[in-house]
Copies of this chain bind each other. A is one copy, B any other.
Amino acid sequence: MTRLVVAGGNAAGLSAASKAKRRNPGLEVEVLEAGPDISYSSCGIPYLVEGQVEDAGHLLVLSPQDAAERGLQVRTDSRAVAFNPYTKEVVFEGKGRGRDSVHYDKLLIATGAAPRNPFPGGGLEGVFAIRHLGDGLRLMERLQAEACDTVAVVGGGYVGLEMAAALQARAGEVHLLNRGPRLLSSMDADITDGLNDWVEEAGIQVHLNADVKRFGEGKAGQLGSVEAKKPLGVDTAIVAVGVQPATEFAVKAGVSATKEGHILVDDQMRTNFHDVWAAGDCVAARHILTGRPTSVPLALPSNRMGRVAGDNIAASTESIPGPSLYFPGVIGTAITRVFGLAFAQTGLTEQACKAEGIDCVTALIESKSKAAYLPDAADMAVKVVAEQGTGKLLGAQLVGPEESGLRINAAAVAIHAGLKVGKLAEVETAYAPPFSPVWDPLIVAAEQCAREVRK
């Protein structure tokens, strides 16, 4: 019997395990998960904290029982800490179980990424770096015990903003400390214009250019302050300054990775070792536009990579492997809600093009979200980025009322299709007064951008 060991029991790991078992039911599949839960929606934690999700159990996509019904063996509290690609052993350990090892015929590394928490004092009671469902639950307990009076959220990116908004609904006072001069800095400055005021008007105290140095101790072992320019007394802090791949054990074993530790894979999720695959947030996949290995630690690419890996792992057990899935690469589509506004992006921003040395043209247009004569027509803005010379669409960004957020998907399709902005401007989009202006803002931006392209 062939044994597949999956290190990591979340989106990529469970997608892979399920897919592999479906394609080859004879496969013995063992999932090693470091935490106590498998397959939960970590993106849902802010909504749990905010109180929109009543029961943390709702965030579980798959219970261990569900996994067992799919024929998967799951060991929680089992962190992979080493593996030997020659003897094909994975070593794992857990608080409750000590150290153990297991033989694999096929290995998938799907250990994800862990929140960065580089600050001295980051281990104090009251400091949270949200990753596991348990982190969310501990924060909930703290809220229920009314121990969150003054909260600092460190980091003004997607996760920081979502957590700040969630806590604003529950805690006394929320401070958002952002290292740089503006929030959501993965987007271009012109599209996030006004975001700072918007967040402050919602009641968050925003500290820009706040270079957090450390967390200070209050009562013994307890968080008492966060120290940036000057110390700020807080009882609770959320650290949301990005993630790092949990791949140390794999890199030590010789798996090829970027210098940040993201594992390098081909489009079937194979690593440099025979019989070893990798998928999910721990991987740098090919960026469709730049061709470069790029980490997009988001749910959809992780799930998709997992499925591709599982399919290819099962195919590798076939005497004559049948056709199998491939991973198309990433473009970096993301969306978030900030107090009733949607911010969304896909592909490359103007600033990313500059960093990559890509000569680009852009257009930013302001529009109403629906027919201007309707009382709930709201302001929105769309920015389009295209390659100079060819006019190929490289990216789009938008801000607008919540219901306008998914307009970004039309641009994502256009990027995957390799459309030029002039061609995107020809699309017959949907119009009715409650949904859109006659000329869809994305179409208008694409048309304006096409005029900037040098013939």
Measured CB to CB, the residues of A under 8 A from B are: 11, 41, 43-44, 47, 52-53, 58-59, 162, 296, 298-301, 303, 328, 330-337, 342, 344, 346, 371-375, 402-414, 416-419, 423-424, 426-436, 438-440, 442
Closest to A53 in B: B373
Judging by beta carbons under 8 Å apart, are A430 and B371 in contact? Answer: no
- Cβ B427 vs Cβ A406 within 8 A: no
B428 touches A406 (CB 8 A): no
- Please measure, in the bound complex, the distance between the C-alpha atom of A298 and the C-alpha atom of B407, giving whole angstroms: 20
Q: Pick from B44, B332, B439: contact of A303, CB below 8 A.
A: B439
Is the CB–CB distance between B407 and A409 below 8 Å?
yes
Interface centre among A330, A416, A423 (most CB of B within 10 A): A416
Contacts A403-B402, A417-B423, A423-B416; A373 near B428 (Cβ below 8 A): no
Q: How far is the CB of A238 from chain B (nearest CB, A)?
A: 17
Contacts of A402 in B (CB 8 A): 403, 434-435
- Quick check: B435 and A337 within 8 Å, CB to CB? yes
Taking a contact as CB atoms under 8 Å apart, the answer to whether A435 and B44 are in contact is no
Asked if A432 and B335 sit within 8 Å, CB to CB, the answer is yes
Cα distance A148–B346 in the bound complex, in angstroms: 50
Q: Which residues of B contact A424 (CB under 8 A)?
A: 413, 416
Cross-interface CB contact of A430 among B334, B426, B429, cutoff 8 Å:
B334
Known: A41-B373, A410-B409, A424-B413. A429 touches B300 (CB 8 A): yes
Query: 4 tightest CB-CB pairs across the interface, nearest first?
Result: A417-B417, A58-B373, A403-B403, A335-B430
A53 to B371, CA, bound (A): 10
CB-CB nearest in chain B for A302: B438
Contacts of A344 in B (CB 8 A): 430
Q: Which residues of B contact A411 (CB under 8 A)?
A: 413
| Residue in chain B with minimal CB distance to A405 | B435
Query: Which B residues are in CB contact (< 8 Å) with A440?
Result: 300, 409
**A300 near B438: Cβ-Cβ < 8 Å:** yes
In the bound complex, do residue B409 and residue A427 qualify as a contact, i.e. CB atoms below 8 Å apart?
yes
Q: For residue A434, which residues in chain B have a CB less than 8 angstroms away from its CB?
A: 47, 337, 402
Residues of B within 8 A of A296 (CB): 428
* Chain B: CB-nearest residue to A328: B426
- B412 A430 Cβ-Cβ under 8 A: yes
- Chain B residues with CB below 8 A from A47, complex form: 371, 373-374, 433-434
Q: Which of B44, B328, B428, B432 contacts A336 (CB 8 A)?
A: B432
A–B Cβ pairs within 8 angstroms, 10 of them: A300-B439, A330-B428, A333-B429, A342-B435, A405-B435, A406-B436, A408-B430, A413-B417, A413-B424, A413-B427
Q: Known contacts A41-B371, A402-B403; decide if A426 and B432 are in contact (CB<8 Å).
A: no
